[in-house]
């Protein structure tokens, strides 16, 4: 009998519960099959994408659809699609690995992600059996290409305010759609459009499956964008577009829920893609630093460059740690729901929804990590970094969209805090009890004892205290601001930054703790350096965000007490981060690649 899967931790509970390092997934645990899939993805990029990036960016006629079809022939479009629909049915962690590796593919990565994610999953997860049998096999092989039509000129972050309308025809056989969508990825060559519109005067959106040859559908011209120039991005117009009633996806007014749940998936997958892009930029940065000579030696020998290379690696390794921790959580939750009696599609949605907070955090952290990595990549290249003849130009421009895609980072920051508070109000998370304990602790003598578990006792204590800093600040903000908290966006953003730094730092620590229990070598020691430098710097970032939040709503003795508590909770031992970063950089330089 198969072992029953239990959800080790529910979404958001990382803030109030400890996680055992042995319970998380770390990339050092990849099995042989997963590594082979990753290598196949790298080979695909090398043979089909990296050698024709200019042609892709110039949108050479038919090239992107051809590349998607080639990927489909290898099974790369159907990694997470069940075998019954022409997919290969791999688990969520494996699908994240393919997303990561393909993330180095610039505009192709965007087209691929849009097709396999928002272009396919709404039908796979919400379609009836007839719809799935008709569309999914062809989407999984690349015979048909998919896209997703949600955004409108006046409906971006506020997606449910869209004005595209659907009315039932007099004979009851068709919905007649009128309206327009914008920023639609893959629109120029898509065969299948998942379109969101309101039926009559409904409050919420409904979703429809529309084929490109349906009467009344037309496209605008290709958008001229800052980056991801090879990605087809067009407006889509519906002028009395006739949609068979059987192409209503799910139920009436369920479109907004579909959009939200698919975006949860899109957010964590974006994190994986940004991770792959960051690793590729680090490879190029190290290569160039080793080759470029100034003042008689390679620039990789200079401390200022070593700092940049090391920090690129630290932030990227941290992003990788948090992305795969959450990916495994989603996978375990999905298995739990299946074993509890849910069908597979519902279980996958529920598993992702359970970790929507973590997905929002990862989207923000990964996109900002990539922006940092490419910015420093340009700087390492110097004047050549600014040249369109060198690779950093494309990387720099292509990275910027990620802070806007899948909900802006501002929206995702606010969502992460809002979802935490809503789950608390519903009784799904007990944040107030721990927050009250922390408030009481402010009046007590600090406890400097720690429980030696795995050689990381002090580090575990730091993370416990970071969580106390959040609970103290957020608890006081809720109590003080009450209903007006939702209007205090600056305070919410600072709380989100504290939450993001803590979750990422803990994920990184747990990964290194698990790894060090299995093996001890030079690379493990360097990964310990990565974790400890990140935690050291995170303490300062958490203190900065907490202080700004507290100063925004507290006064007098209350403020003084909370600021003292914040300083206590973000106190870490001094360390020589210069030496640690040099050790990390020296390994990168010796290997001439990202090697962590």
Residue 376, Cβ density class (10 Å: 0-12 exposed, 13-18 middle, ≥19 buried): buried
Measured distance CA(319)–CA(147) in Å, rounded: 28
Distance between CA 27 and CA 30 in Å, rounded? Answer: 6
Answer whether 469's CB lies under 8 Å from 442's CB.
no
Told to judge if 406 belongs to the known catalytic residues of this protein, a careful annotator would answer: yes
Burial class (CB in 10 A: 0-12, 13-18, 19+), 490: exposed
Degrees (nearest 5) of the Cα angle 77, 82, 85?
Answer: 75
**What HEC string does 327-375 produce?**
HHHHHHHHHHHHHCCCCHHHHHHHHHHHCHHHHHHHHHHHHHHHHHHHH
Between CA 30 and CA 267 the distance in angstroms is 23
Report helix angle 63-73 to 107-116, nearest 10.
Answer: 60
**How far from the centroid of its chain's Cα atoms is residue 156's Cα?**
19
The C-alpha atoms of residue 75 and residue 70 are separated, in whole angstroms, by 9
3-class SS at 243? strand
Q: What is the distance, to the nearest Å, from the Cα of residue 481 to the centroid of all Cα atoms in its chain?
A: 30
Q: d(Cα 451, Cα 459) in Å, to the nearest integer? A: 11
Q: What is the dihedral of CA 466, 471, 474, 479, to 10 degrees?
A: -150
* The one catalytic residue among 152, 320, 406, 506: 406
Give yes or no for a contact between 292 and 299, defined as CB atoms under 8 angstroms apart: yes
DSSP string, 151-190: -BTTBSSSGGG---EEEE-TTSSEEEEEEEEEEEETTTT-
Residue 398 and residue 274: Cα distance in Å, rounded?
A: 10
Q: List the structure tokens of 576.
A: 């020589």
Helices 522-553 and 489-518, axial angle in degrees (round to 10):
160
**Torsion angle of alpha carbons 129, 134, 137, 139, nearest 10°?**
-110
Residues marked active site are found at: 406
């Amino acid at each position: 009998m198969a072992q029953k899967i239990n959800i080790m931790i529910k979404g958001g509970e990382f803030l109030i519960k400890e996680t055992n390092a042995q319970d998380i997934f770390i990339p050092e645990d990849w099995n042989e099959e997963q590594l082979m899939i990753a290598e196949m993805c790298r080979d695909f990029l090398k043979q089909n994408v990296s050698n024709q990036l200019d042609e892709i960016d110039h949108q050479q006629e038919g090239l992107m659809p051809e590349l998607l079809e080639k990927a489909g022939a290898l099974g790369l479009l159907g990694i997470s699609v069940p075998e019954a629909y022409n997919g290969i049915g791999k688990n969520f962690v494996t699908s994240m690995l393919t997303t990561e590796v393909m993330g180095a593919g610039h505009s192709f990565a965007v087209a691929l992600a849009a097709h396999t994610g928002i272009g396919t999953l709404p039908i796979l997860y919400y379609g009836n059996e007839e719809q799935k049998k008709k569309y999914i096999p062809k989407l999984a092989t690349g015979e048909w290409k998919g896209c997703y039509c949600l955004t409108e000129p006046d409906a971006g972050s506020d997606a449910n305010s869209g004005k595209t309308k659907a009315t039932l025809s007099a004979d009851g056989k068709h919905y007649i759609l009128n309206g327009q969508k914008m920023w639609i990825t893959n629109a120029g060559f898509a065969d299948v459009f998942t379109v969101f519109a309101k039926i009559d005067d409904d409050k919420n959106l409904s979703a429809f499956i529309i084929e490109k040859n349906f009467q009344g559908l037309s496209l605008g011209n290709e958008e001229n964008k800052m980056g991801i120039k090879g990605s087809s991005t067009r407006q889509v117009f519906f002028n009395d577009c006739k949609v068979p009633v059987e192409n209503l996806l799910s139920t009436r007014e369920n479109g907004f829920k579909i959009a939200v749940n698919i975006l949860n998936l899109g957010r964590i997958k974006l994190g994986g893609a940004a991770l792959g892009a960051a690793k590729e930029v680090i490879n190029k940065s190290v290569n160039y630093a080793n080759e470029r000579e100034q003042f008689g030696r390679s620039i990789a020998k200079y401390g200022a460059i070593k700092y940049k290379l090391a920090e690129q690696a630290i932030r990227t390794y941290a992003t990788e740690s948090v992305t795969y921790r959450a990916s495994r959580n989603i996978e375990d939750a999905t298995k739990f729901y299946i074993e509890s009696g849910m069908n597979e599609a519902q279980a996958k949605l529920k598993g992702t929804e359970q970790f929507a907070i973590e997905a929002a955090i990862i989207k923000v952290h990964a996109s900002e990590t990539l922006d940092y990595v490419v910015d420093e990549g340009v700087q390492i290249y110097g004047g050549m970094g600014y040249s369109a003849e060198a690779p950093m130009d494309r990387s720099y421009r292509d990275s910027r969209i990620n802070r806007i895609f899948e909900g802006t980072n501002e929206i995702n920051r606010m969502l992460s805090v809002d979802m935490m508070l809503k789950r608390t109000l519903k009784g799904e998370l007990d944040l107030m009890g721990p927050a009250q304990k922390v408030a009481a602790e402010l009046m007590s003598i600090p406890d400097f004892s720690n429980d030696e578990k795995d050689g990381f006792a002090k580090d575990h204590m730091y993370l416990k205290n970071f969580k106390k800093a959040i609970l103290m600040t957020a608890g006081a903000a809720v109590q003080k601001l009450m209903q007006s908290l939702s209007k205090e966006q600056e305070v919410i953003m600072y709380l989100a930054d504290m939450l993001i730094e803590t979750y990422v730092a803990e994920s990184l620590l747990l990964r290194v703790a698990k790894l060090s229990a299995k093996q001890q070598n030079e690379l493990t020691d360097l990964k310990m350096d990565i974790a400890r430098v990140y935690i050291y710097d995170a303490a300062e970032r958490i203190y900065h965000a907490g202080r700004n939040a507290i100063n925004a709503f507290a006064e007098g003795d209350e403020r003084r007490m909370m600021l003292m508590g914040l300083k206590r909770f973000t106190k870490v031992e001094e360390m020589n981060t210069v030496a640690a970063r040099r050790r990390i950089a020296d390994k990168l330089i010796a290997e001439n690649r990202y090697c962590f």
